Amino acid sequence: MQHDNEDNKNNVVNPPPDAPKTPEEQHKANESAAFDKRLNTLKHKHGLDEDLSKKAKATNDGVKAGIELLTPIVVCFFVGMGLDNWLDKSPLFLMIFFVLGVITGFWNIYKLTK
């Protein structure tokens, strides 16, 4: 008889360590699973899937690179124009600052891609 009792002890299946043990834990696990399902449904509905987010990131990187390139060129252009008007020089400062803006813009792209 004792031998049968030992066999029953060895045949007991233990739940996995991450399995909820109390009804409250089970309820929380069910709520979490339902929330994850709703969240994934909404992500898919609004186009926030991982594949689409990779495309969005690539687009974002391209826009950022364009802004990083054009901003110093435009700013330096207007600074050069302002200095030319203020000091009554012909396009001397405009050309200097435009070239400086182009160099700065490409330096920003270099740093961005590095």
Assigned domain for 18 exists: no
Assigned domain for 45 exists: yes
CA triple 83-84-85, angle to 5 deg: 90
Domain of residue 84 covers 23-113
Q: What is the pLDDT of residues 39-90, one digit of tens each?
A: 888 887 877 777 766 777 888 888 999 999 999 999 999 999 999 999 998 8
- Of the pLDDT bands very low, low, confident and very high (cuts 50, 70, 90), residue 97 is very high
Share of the chain above pLDDT 70, in %: 79
Longest alpha-carbon distance in the chain: 112
- Please give the tally of structural domains in the chain: 1
